[in-house]
Structure 1
Amino acid sequence: MVTKTEEAELNRLESQVEHGGGGAWEYLCLIRKLKIRRSDKVLKHGLSILNDPKKRSSLGDEEWTLYEQVAVAAMDCHSLGVAQDCIKVLSKKFPDSKRVGRLEAMLLEAKGCFEEAENAYLSLLEDNPLDQVIHKRRVAIAKAQGDILKAIEWLDKYLEIFMADHDAWRELAEIYISLQMYKQAAFCYEELILAQPTFPLYHLAYADVLYTLGGLENLQTAKKYYASTIDLTGGKNTRALYGICLCTYAIAQLAKGRNKEDKESGELQSLAAAALEKEYKSRAPSKLPLLNSTLKNLRL
């Protein structure tokens, strides 16, 4: 995950390069280091270096890294001619490279030649079954073809090998939610919370899924995770505050007569409502009447 300091440095370098202040290579290196994609910028500034023989030769062996970076950016931007030219240069320099072979397969994918790309990826996996990028590209092919069930299948197989890949778990959860398979999505978020217990967005997403599933037990657990989201964000997550109110109201409808729990729930809802009112007064006072009306309908 990119820190605020790293993002600030990246934006500073980008502004400097965009305004002719130099530092294009440093900017491209930082993008690569942070593993983010600003493909249009990479394509623009990467080509400015590659098309200048003096600048290109000054890179030494890093020249080939730049060719690869520009090739991927060009595919993202659908500049397939540029991508093909870069890959040709790399193929000539490294004729038997599996890494270049992966780029060639990605180009087939970018051209929409999905069957050929899939065959190329399978061939590469025979030599290196643990190539994470290739496994992910197969998922991307399935999604590009609209075969969501196949994408789930490939993600499941990928996560059997790379269980610590948080992005893959999150992607799988989002696919399940899009298919209204909420129990499966909940399992994905449970895995994410186990791996990163202090990351509030996973608590929030898990609570949302449980609230959607409904039922007394799910609602009670959802309320706990909305509460943990509030705790992890210092009480500043509006969605979680609303979640507390909604869960408390729904639980009250399902569990009437449990005096102790009703009392505790009412107190928690009152605290959440007060926090929401305070936030709306400071940030969106014009919407305060709408909030009050909504909260009034949720009073226990």
Structure 2
Amino acid sequence: MVSKTEQSQLDRLENQVDNGGGGDWEYLCLVRKLKVRRSDKVLKYGLAILNDPKKRSSLGQDEWTLYEQVAIAAMDCQSIDAAKDCIKVLQKKFSESKRVGRLEAMLLEAKGSWAEAEKAYSSLLEDNPLDQVVHKRRVAMAKAQGNISGAIEWLNKYLEIFMADNDAWRELAEIYVSLQMYKQAAFCYEELILSQPTVPLYHLAYADVLYTLGGLENLQMAKKYYASTIDLTGGKNTRALFGICLCTSAIGHLAKGRNKEEKDSPELQSLAVTALEKDYKQRAPEKLSLLTTALKSMKIS
């Protein structure tokens, strides 16, 4: 995650470079450090440095890092010839490097040579089963071919080895949601919340999944996670506030005729309604009547 300070620094340098103010190398280093994708600019400014013998020689050992960075950017931009040229230089310098081997496999992938790329990735994993980049490339390759079941399979295999990779859990969860496999998505969000309990996004997504699954127990749990989202965001999450209202309405319908302890208490619902009305009055007063109508339709206004 890029901080506001880092984003500001990146934007400032990018604007400076785009307007001919220099700092090309510093910009490329920052892009690499922050792990952001600026492929078109990396390709443009990286090639400008590599094609200038004086600038290139001034980099020292960083020259090879730049060749790699530009090769990956070129593949992103489908500039296959530029990628080939960079990889050839690296092959000549590091003929036995597995890192260069990954680039060669990625080039096959970029060209759409899926079978050859898969063979190359399999060979790399035989030499190093813990190569995270290669595992992730297999997932990306499956998604690029529209093979969602394959992407799920590779992601699950990856997470068996790298269980602490929160980005992978989130990606898997989002795939499951897109396929309406909500129970599997719920498991992924549970893992994320266990790992990072103070991230409101995970609480909100988990609550959404539980609400979609339905049933009294899931709705009650969803309401708790909408409430935790509100708590973690200082009461500022409109979606979570609506979630409280929706859950309250649904629980009320399901709990009719049940024991009193199974019914839902109204306090949280009342607080959510008040917070929503206050938010709409401040930010979108012209839509306040729509909010009132929506809440009345839920029979909680």
Which residue pairs with 1:67 in the alignment?
67
Which aligned runs of 4 or more in structure 1 are off by greater than 3 angstroms? 257-263
1:267 deviates by: 2.0
1:137 deviates by: 0.7
**1:152-163 mapped onto 2 (5 Å cutoff):** 152-163=152-163
CA distance in 1 between partners of 2:38 and 2:242 (Å): 35
1:15 deviates by: 1.2
Amino acid at match of 1:35: K
1:259 deviates by: 4.7
**1:283-294 mapped onto 2 (5 Å cutoff):** 283-294=283-294
Amino acid at match of 1:115: A
Moved more, 148-157 or 210-219: 148-157
Which residue pairs with 1:140 in the alignment?
140
**1:215-294 mapped onto 2 (5 Å cutoff):** 215-256=215-256, 259=260, 262=263, 264=265, 266-294=266-294
Structure 2, unmatched stretches of 5+, are: none
How many residues align? The count is: 299
Which residue pairs with 2:209 in the alignment?
209
CA distance in 1 between partners of 2:229 and 2:264 (Å): 22
CA distance in 2 between partners of 1:262 and 1:150 (Å): 43
**1:76-87 mapped onto 2 (5 Å cutoff):** 76-87=76-87
CA distance in 1 between partners of 2:235 and 2:119 (Å): 51
CA deviations over 1:3-37 (Å, ceiling 9, x no partner): 11111111111111111111111111111111121
Which residue pairs with 2:125 in the alignment?
125
CA distance in 1 between partners of 2:25 and 2:278 (Å): 47
Amino acid at match of 2:206: Y
CA deviations over 1:74-125 (Å, ceiling 9, x no partner): 1111111111111111111111111111001000001100000000001111
Amino acid at match of 1:278: K
CA distance in 1 between partners of 2:127 and 2:229 (Å): 44
SS at structure 2 position matched to 1:146: coil
Q: Rate the CA distance shift 1:65–1:263 in 2: closer, same or farther, 3 A.
A: closer
* Structure 2 residue 184 is matched with structure 1 residue 181: no
Q: Rate the CA distance shift 1:279–1:122 in 2: closer, same or farther, 3 A.
A: same
Identity %: 79
CA distance in 2 between partners of 1:254 and 1:263 (Å): 10
Which residue pairs with 2:39 in the alignment?
39
* Structure 2 residue 191 is matched with structure 1 residue 200: no
1:239 deviates by: 0.6
1:231 deviates by: 0.5
Amino acid at match of 2:242: Y
Amino acid at match of 1:79: S
1:245 deviates by: 0.4
Which residue pairs with 1:107 in the alignment?
107
Structure 1, unmatched stretches of 5+, are: none
1:291 deviates by: 1.0
Which residue pairs with 2:8 in the alignment?
8
CA deviations over 1:213-241 (Å, ceiling 9, x no partner): 00000000000000000100111111101
Which residue pairs with 2:97 in the alignment?
97
CA distance in 2 between partners of 1:263 and 1:99 (Å): 57
Amino acid at match of 1:191: E
* Structure 2 residue 266 is matched with structure 1 residue 298: no
TM-score computed with the length of structure 2 as normaliser: 0.96
CA distance in 2 between partners of 1:81 and 1:178 (Å): 36
SS at structure 1 position matched to 2:171: helix
CA deviations over 1:145-183 (Å, ceiling 9, x no partner): 222111111111100000000111011111111111100
1:299 deviates by: 2.5
Moved more, 215-224 or 136-145: 136-145
Contact 2:118-2:138 within 8 A present in 1 as well:
yes
Note the aligned Cα RMSD (angstroms). Answer: 1.3
1:256 deviates by: 2.5
1:260 deviates by: 6.3
Amino acid at match of 1:50: L
